[in-house]
Amino acid sequence: MSKMGVKPREFGLKPRELGVKKPQFGVKPREFGVGTCVCFSAQCPAGCLCRCPCPCRCPCRCRCPCPCPCRCRCRCPPVAVAAMSRFFTTGSDSESESSASGDETAPKAAGGPYSKPLLLSEDEEDTKRVVRSARDKRYEELTNLIRSIRNAMKIRDVSRCLEEFELLGRAWAKAKGVVDREGVPRFYLRILADLEDYLNELWEDKEGKKKMNKNNAKALSSLRQKLRKYNRDYEGQIAAYRQNPEQSDEDEEKSRRDSEGSGSSSGAEDDAGNFLKRRERDEPRSRYKESESEPESESDEDWGDSASESDSESDEDDGKFTSLASKFLKKDEERRGAERRREEKAKKKLERKSRREEEEEEEEGGEWEKVKGGVPLIKEKPKMFAKGTEITVGLVMKKLNEILQARGKKGTDRAAQIELLQHLVAVAHEHQLGVPLELKIKFNIVASLYDYNPNLAAYMKAELWQRCLGCIEELLELLFAHPEIFVGENVLEESENLSNPEQPFRVRGCVLTLVERMDEEFTKIMQNTDPHSQEYVEHLKDEARVCGIIGRLQRYLQAKGSPEELCRVYLLRVLHTYYKFDYAAARRRQVRPRPQVSPGPQVSPGPQVSPGPQVSPDPQEKEKEDEEKEKQEEEEEEEDSEALMERLCRFVYAKDRTDRIRTCAILCHIYHHALHSRWYRARDLMLMSHLQDNIQHADPPVQILYNRTMVQLGICAFRQGLIKDAHNALLDIQSSGRAKELLGQGLLLRSLQERNAEQEKVEKRRQVPFHMHVNLELLECVYLVAAMLLEIPYMAAHEFDARRRMISKQFHHQLRVGERQPLLGPPESMREHVVAASKAMKTGDWRRCHRFVVNEKMNGKVWDLFPEADQVRAMLVRKIQEESLRTYLFTYSSVYDSISMETLAAMFELDLPTVHGIISKMIINEELMASLDQPTATVMMHRTEPTATQNLALQLAEKLGNLVENNERVLDQRQGAYGGYFRDQKDGGYRKGDGYLRRGGFRQERGNY
């Protein structure tokens, strides 16, 4: 860096060599245009003029050379006036050139030593402004293009030649007007002629052509054709030029000289012109033909460098300054090496250069203007706020509108637009044009930040996002600082009041929308970041900021917003709260022991067999207690997320008029309840909302939210030991086998036939960010364990039942998969564990079952993911004991005449009352044919179970019934219209029980006859 800083000075001592370089001045301005600092964000830590908002990531490409600590290489003098800002670029230009190649237009920047002498001008404070004619502008464009063509020619990059040539053609067409007036300029003819020669040469060179890569070869032929066609129009002129190239060169130089120096003092100009001519005669056009000439070889090097460099760089985003910086460093070294090499070579040149410098000093004025004249973007700034004009609100507004009008148009550089707006804010701020105006502009900045990505699917870049966050924060600060300003989206453009202090300020704009959009963008960023990367964590840290903003917005709107707006912002807040487990609250709860029943006994022994309907009496009491308690807590601590959710959601329920927000709020509320194990409240809310009935009419994101809520509800029920409820809640999601998709946590691998690219994009947009995911393995495990606890006793009870229905297909599937295994090793995966546990349970071996369900592996995989893992495990053990007992009784009751309950209690490590309860229940439900003998505490088996043969006979009878049924249908078909016989049969008689089977399509069909 410092090295770079020094270098120009050392060049400054070099003698000038004017002749060759002169023609290239015309080219340079274009690159300044890009390099010009346009950001003006008034933040340069060095307080220099440029105001580049480094120290980190200068969004503008200025690289202006002020001495700030960043890599932006600003080195412009710290003395400055705002009005001068458009000129400081001249100071920087030489630098930008020496630092080179960071620019997109690097090839030009590497113009090398030619421009270096200009550095001298850095001390000058020339404020003259140049009005450039259309002719200058056009010619400049042309010369730029010509130059790059020549570069391409030199490195034999024909395809690039072709590109540039096409551009040239276009530029030429633009310049038509000028040309018509003044005739075809010499330099243009020259490039045409040169290009033709060059192409012919290449064409003849068969060897070279063979070596050429495909692209180039193709480009060569097409370029040759094009050029031939093109040149036909200028045949005469080219011929004339060929006859007298010297002359034309000279003329051209002169003309260009004129064009560049127009407006400068003629005396100096003449001198320079003469000098030029002299130099040129000394070195006639050598640079185009012979690359051996000294200065040329040097510049050649540079070109090579920068060309390769520019390729890679232009690919990169403008934001990636860190990598750029490293590149610069590298480049630095290269350059230093090259310099050393060059130094000896260039001794003569040095001499010349210094001479030239002197000369330039004489004609400083002219030099200045040339450079300035070439900055195309600068044109915009003078328009933005003409020097000297008093900057008023009206003016700024006008300018703002101007900028905004460009919005959305095709050719608009969105990045530049943002810069311009930021500049405008700075100006407004500087001139104390009032907060409302600033607000107005800032609204627009944020809006254009969002506009930056034209594609809805693409997500914001991180740095843009950061800026956006910053802007919104500033905006909010302003709003808080000036509560008197009325901001609303309903304010018409005409009725806005930005400046009149007598009336209340009115500004059009909606912070809420901006914040909502920001939230969306945040989701998008999270969706598009690899969830396992450090980057994701970094992004996730912003979540706090987002929440902060939402919180502030909420406070702001609470003061002034309408209920609708409040609902929206509350929803935002809710959406950012509902999925987070409130550890703080949980801890508090643990510290203060609850007055009510502790979680252990909460799992009531009796109703567990079928917990669904029986739970009503005590839970309600519990719930009341809960509620009272929660009310207290609400008063005590505002920040308790439960209370917060309650408050926000209540408001939304009461005030919301759009159904969607309320639905979302309810779902989030339920989710939050479920997450914090408040099962009854969650369930009641779910049932009261009747969402189950009409959720299929909602839009997909809400449906995803609904699915998430159901899943969470199921997991909550499981934690509470309500196995049946858990199973019911999870059944729909799990049985589809598409849980991942239904929860919006990833796309299933499907062929493109089922889903085209467009659909896939839409689906991708719906994905829930990773940090909100429900753990799918946990989900499946909970489901399978619940299914196991239900299914295994059921299977044991209905072993001989032909009509047995499966409770859970998926569980059976897993069992079958386990059975199909030729060799059963110890279980590895979660599923294998559950299957192994099921097998153990089938034989009533609860200890083994327990070992399989709760062990190291499973703890790590599943159970430890619960907030109250130990509680859940305790519940599980108990459940396993109970269900194993039931299974045992079902399976082996036929072996016993009587069995002592004490023995059973010892076998299953349950206390006697529990065993008693379970057995009583089984007897009442007629699942177990037995009676209890109180005095001896034994179960007497009654043996009313059918024997195996009887069972078989029953099954056979049933099957035969089916057969007859089916057979009759065939008969029905045959007989068609006269089905009366069967209709009579159906009502009475032997098939009463099976009557329900004959329904649906088949009867309708009969109607058809």
- Binding footprint of other proteins on the chain (CB under 8 A): 947-949, 952-953, 955-956, 959-960, 962-963, 966-967, 969-970, 973-974, 976, 1005, 1008
Q: How far is the CB of 951 from other proteins (least distance, A)?
A: 9
What minimum distance in Å lies between the beta carbon of 673 and other proteins?
A: 49
Hey, is 798 helix, strand or coil?
coil
CB of 995 to other proteins, least distance (A): 18
CB of 984 to other proteins, least distance (A): 21
Q: Which is nearer to other proteins, 944 or 1008 (CB)?
A: 1008
Q: Which of 782, 829, 840, 784 is nearest to 811 (CA)?
A: 784
Q: With respect to other proteins, which residue has the nearer C-beta, 481 or 971?
A: 971
| Least separation in angstroms between CB 1006 and other proteins | 11
Least distance (Å) from other proteins to the CB of residue 1009?
8
Specify the residue, 490 or 1008, whose C-beta has the smaller distance to other proteins: 1008
Q: Which is nearer to other proteins, 655 or 969 (CB)?
A: 969
Long-range contact list for 449-456, CB < 8 A, 24+ apart? 449/418, 450/514, 450/517, 450/521, 451/407, 451/408, 451/414, 452/414, 452/415, 452/418, 454/414, 456/765
Q: Report the nearest approach of other proteins to the CB of residue 979 (Å).
A: 14
Nearer to other proteins, 392 or 950 (CB): 950
d(CA 373, CA 132): 6
DSSP, collapsed to helix, strand or coil, labels residue 614 as: helix
**Alpha helix positions (H), 502-616:** 511-527, 534-560, 563-577, 583-591, 599-602, 611-614
Task: List the structure tokens of 361.
Answer: 């000093």
**HEC string for 29-74:** HHHHHHHCCCCCCCCCCCCCCCCCCCCCCCCCCCCCCCCCCCCCCC
Which of residues 247 and 962 has its CB atom nearest to other proteins in the complex?
A: 962
Q: How far apart are CA 91 and CA 505, in angstroms?
A: 42
Return the number of the residue (281 or 959) whose C-beta is nearest other proteins.
Answer: 959
Query: What's at 135, amino acid-wise?
Result: R
- Give the amino acid at 562: S
- Per the rule left: phi > 0, alpha: psi between -120 and 50, beta: everything else, 432 is left
Work out whether the CA dihedral 897, 900, 903, 904 comes out positive or negative: positive
| Nearer to other proteins among residue 562 and residue 973 (C-beta) | 973
Cβ of residue 965: shortest distance to other proteins, in angstroms?
8
Closest separation in Å from C-beta 777 to other proteins: 39
In the three-class reduction of DSSP (H, G, I as helix; E, B as strand; rest coil), residue 570 is classed as helix
Q: Are 965 and 994 in contact (CB under 8 A)?
A: yes
Residue 952 C-beta: closest distance to other proteins, Å: 4
If the CB atoms of residues 13 and 956 are measured against other proteins, the closer one turns out to be 956
Closest contact distance (angstroms) between CB of 970 and other proteins is 5
Of 383 and 804, CB closest to other proteins: 804
SS3 content of the chain, % helix, strand, coil (to 5): 70, 0, 30
Kindly compute the dihedral angle of the four CA atoms of residues 569, 573, 576, 578, in this order, to the nearest 10 degrees. -130
How many angstroms separate the CA atoms of 892 and 870, rounded?
33
How many Cα neighbours within 13 Å face the side chain of 365?
13
| Residue 972 CB, nearest approach to other proteins (Å) | 9
What lies within 8 Å, CB to CB, of 763 at 6+ separation is: 741, 747, 755
Q: Which is nearer to other proteins, 513 or 951 (CB)?
A: 951
Quote the least distance from Cβ 945 to other proteins, whole Å. 15
Identity of the residue, 541 or 974, whose beta carbon is nearer to other proteins in the bound complex: 974
Name the minimum Å distance from CB 818 to other proteins.
25
824 vs 953, which CB is nearer to other proteins?
953
Q: Are 323 and 316 in contact (CB under 8 A)?
A: yes
Paired strand residues for 487: 507
Using CA atoms, how far residue 882 sits from 149, 831, 842, 858, in Å, is: 87, 22, 13, 21
DSSP 82-106: GGGHHHHHHHHHHHHHHH-SSSTTH
Q: Concatenated DSSP letters for 297-351? A: HHHHHHHHHHHHHHHHHHHS-TT-HHHHHHHHHHHHHHHHHHHHHHHHHTHHHHH
The helix-helix angle for 266-282 and 18-25 (nearest 10°) equals: 120
Nearer to other proteins by C-beta: 56 or 953? 953
Segment (H or E) for 818: helix 809-820
3-class DSSP string for 215-270: HHHHHHHHHHHHHHHHHHHCHHHHHHHHHCHHHHHHHHHHHHHHHHHCCCCHHHHH
* Furthest CA-CA distance within the chain: 132
- Min CB(974)–other proteins separation in Å: 7
Closer residue to other proteins in complex, CB, 610/947: 947
- The CA distance from 214 to 220, in Å, is 10
**Distance in Å, CB of 985 to other proteins, minimum:** 18
What is the Cα–Cα distance from 440 to 496, expressed in whole angstroms? Answer: 10
User: Nearest approach, Cβ of 805 to other proteins (angstroms)?
Assistant: 17
Nearer to other proteins, 753 or 949 (CB): 949
Rg of the Cα trace of the chain?
42
678: left (phi over 0), alpha (psi -120 to 50) or beta: beta
Closest separation between CB of residue 820 and other proteins, Å?
22
Q: Which is nearer to other proteins, 584 or 960 (CB)?
A: 960
Place of tokens 């489901």: 783
- Shorter beta-carbon distance to other proteins: residue 326 or 973: 973
Strands 898-900 vs 506-508: parallel, antiparallel or unpaired: unpaired
